[in-house]
Structure 1
């Protein structure tokens, strides 16, 4: 009996690995066969767009034309790829800014900008002078080092001499030794023992008028020299709004000079209107019935949500979010007389294989084909290209990736990746995938997170491991339930204990990983991999073995 237990104990890891592998291949093949069957079948879930029947999936058939790129969206009537460009709509149309993904951008008037390293001030895009930059009229200033002083229409930027200094008109003063006095309707700086720095009564208290306010019998400190009362609080009329009825005031940030109060909320007068309805004051779109009832034009462009729809001329089409594009059975669209697969956008009548990129079948052993997040690319022109999200990266671009996304950027001197963000090293420092607005320590460690789909065949088919993150420590990442994968040998062997991937002494090169989630990793090159092409570890393992083993 003892001999049987010992023998069983010796065989358990190997047996487990074989069972796991057999189950993996069987399950994924069954799933692929099912997917291939569905892809070749019709689908009754159709809608009509400009007299064209189409399936409610990810591709778009618009204006009787077939657009083959699965990742295209629309900016007005122009097609563009939001992975590589940004659409900025305005009152009479829209513009496209190339070279900046919509994942990390915002619009400043007609042009998109990088929110991390730039700032939009009254329609002008400026480089941030510091991590905590703000606008001072049409200029940018560093809140930690500078002050923005003066009336709303005549601002000036001053050096902040100390943390105590405040504005007095277009000058600064230290309220511990000075006061800001209103003399003949002008603001003047005087010593604190000056007559203008007299005290006044506020309820049962007295206060210094130079740096205090009396708001509803309550003494409050002035945050700026021209502060005003908002209920029982002080607010800066240049940068804030005081909204609400007299007995229920609230202070809101003034996002722009075009923002006004609507009850206890704010609205943008360029895009919205404040309407009096039966339920009270409500903010509505500028082309709403409320606006038309007030005599405004009703010719405003139709509003649509780019995350659930695309607009092409007069055609608004359903659009599934990018996170859904890798899930669910592909349907078929009809554009004139052509039938096509929605994700690939083209007709595919070739032989079926159990491997799909999105909804398109392909041979994973073909070095001329590469799957990037559900989009299949032909590598005849760029044989060594790598994926960045759903697009191919060339040598002049940089791809930054985090746990959930990859973003393509134009290469810039003095910039580095921190997760999926591309940061200016003079403004930020990065540690373990997190940016900090502190002076850099001289070096900017590279993240160890990589994309599994960009591994070369030698590394992919050699020894890889996959495990569940137990914890992310200072000196390494601890994994449990670890499997050792040899793709070329088609073997999967479990480890019997916790395994630590040593990453360094300070942990700053560690990626921001999610405890309880599975990742592939390489002990030798100290890299962690995430897979944007497959929905499960099961599918990823099947892909590795199918790609590497000669008999599969």
Structure 2
């Protein structure tokens, strides 16, 4: 049986790319990633993609202007010329990557400055912020006593000077001349389109067909609106952007809760009797069909992508359709999306319901969903980043996993599928009303008699939950319940879990 494996070294990858380029695999394709400079196709994070004549995996590396940066996934990176960087913890200023000391940092030439305490004038001059002061070319002035005269080559004049009434801050050209805009060049027309309008992703961001100016790499979409991760008093809740919300507000089940009282804020055709598997027929009594590939059931009766395997073989691990051979029996190996993170203390997996990304470990960094953030810049609550660091905040105790990553180990525990009916937030506790849909109990005869359960979770240190979604839960002692899985499909996942656990018990 052929087992998928990660590339052993960079040399191997380069050799593959040289061969694939000769065979026409890599053609300097321009990708559709919204971040400027990224190239290579984005579809499928586990496949090899092209960066010039070199192939790479977007879940492990990044491609910026034909240059591969290892160890930082393109899914969370941005480009600084030809080098990728993590915009959560770093900033790119005129081709230089600098480490953020605050989420409110912006570029002023090649340096960065704190927007809450300083001004950037002329594109490269930094001044300490003063009330009622603004930029006039390369200097600052008091707007209550002076004005900036554009007809005198940006000279500061007293407010009663004849040139003052001619000054206007509403005109973009004037703002540009006064140095209040970082650049005066018009954006270049890009091949990308937002609806029918072409745009440059380095300058703008497309949110559900609406174009907005991209203030920085932290600019994100919230439905049809745009916001910046470092914005205060802004909250994106279920695709709706809410402004002027109190600090530490939370989105729970589509409802905004605000402290201190957490109040709701509203091939060939087969013959008769034959079964098809890809372009061939097979006998389902003796064989199993996995993504169009037929396998003998003696090799296993569960699919992992196009491979077949025995789910109870502890030396085999299926990670999102990719089958791996473990080098030894150990609980340290875990799936991170379609990759296997095996016995490595220098890497960490950060995952959400949408992505799973491997990062090199760094001091004072933690996972927040699939992001890896600097705790001195950000805080994380229920898998949502906030630009308000909390030194005393407790990290998430665990991360949710796909159901396949939890079995068969979970077969020895009391589990149940619980649908989230409603959510409420009170005193940092997330109260969840669950409807028990189905229970798996191979350990004892104890069953949950009441189909309605009231579960309390520590809001910030527990993974996020959504109303109407069904999850796998574990019942511990004293009626304590732990959230285990990403949202599940009731039909297929219930059948799979029961079949696996029942087979193991038998």
Q: TM-score with structure 2 length normalisation?
A: 0.62
Counterpart Cα distance in 1 of 2:191 and 2:354: 33
1:353 & 1:62 partners in 2: Cα distance? 38
1:446 equivalent in alignment to 2:380: no
- What residue ranges of structure 2 are gaps of 5+ in the alignment? 1-19, 26-43, 202-275, 281-287
CA 1:156–1:347 in structure 2 vs 1: closer, same or farther (change >3 Å)? farther
Q: Does 1:141 align with 2:95?
A: no
CA drift of 1:357 comes to 1.4
Pick aligned residue for 1:97 from 69, 87, 112: 69
Please tell me whether the aligned partners of residues 213 and 229 of structure 1 are also in contact (alpha carbons under 8 angstroms). Answer: no
Aligned length: 373
Question: Contact 1:428/1:439 (CA < 8 Å) preserved in 2?
Answer: yes
Write the distance in 2 (CA, Å) between the matches of 1:345 and 1:423.
41
- 1:111-130 maps to which residues of 2 (within 5 A)? 111-130=83-102
The reply to whether residue 198 of structure 1 matches residue 119 of structure 2 is no
Taking the aligned partners of 1:490 and 1:62, their CA distance within structure 2 comes to 61
Which of 314, 317, 328 aligns to 1:370? It is 317
Tell me whether 1:169 sits opposite 2:116 in the alignment.
Answer: no
**Which TM-score applies when normalising by structure 1?**
0.57
Highest CA radius of gyration, 1 or 2?
A: 1
Match runs of 1:274-353 below 5 Å: 331=278, 351=298, 353=300
RMSD of Structure 2 on Structure 1 (CA)? 4.3
Cα deviations by residue, 1:121-169 (Å, 9 ceiling, x for unpaired): 222222223213322122222222221112x4xx12222234x331233
Deviation at 1:463, TM superposition (A): 1.0
Change (3 A) 1:397 1:358: same
Q: Return the offset for 1:362.
A: 0.9
2:412 matched to 1:461?
A: yes
Equivalence for 2:257: none
Q: Is 1:476 aligned to 2:430, yes or no? A: yes
1:538 and 2:480 aligned: no
How far is the alpha carbon of 1:198 from its aligned partner? 1.2
User: Hey, what's the Cα distance between the residues in 2 that align with 1:145 and 1:440?
Assistant: 21
With 69-78 and 391-400 compared, the bigger mean Cα shift is at 69-78
Q: Secondary structure at the match of 1:267?
A: coil
Q: Deviations over 1:198-255 (max 9, x none)?
A: 165xxxxxxx82xx655xxxxx5x38xxxx556xxx6435888xxxxxxxxxxxx87x
* Deviation at residue 456 of structure 1 after TM alignment: 7.7
Return 5+ residue gaps in structure 1 as ranges: 1-59, 191-195, 201-207, 215-219, 241-252, 261-265, 274-280, 286-328, 334-340
For 1:481 and 1:551, locate their aligned partners in 2 and report how far apart those are by CA, in whole Å: 27
- When residues 385 and 536 of structure 1 are mapped into structure 2, their CA distance, relative to the original with a 3 A threshold, is same
Counterpart of 1:392 (choices 319, 340, 343) is 340
Alpha-carbon distance between aligned partners in 1 of 2:279 and 2:120, rounded to the nearest angstrom: 58
Residues 526 and 103 of structure 1: is their aligned pair in 2 closer, same or farther, counting only changes over 3 Å? farther
Q: CA distance change for structure 1 residues 161 and 460 in 2, over 3 Å: closer, same or farther?
A: farther
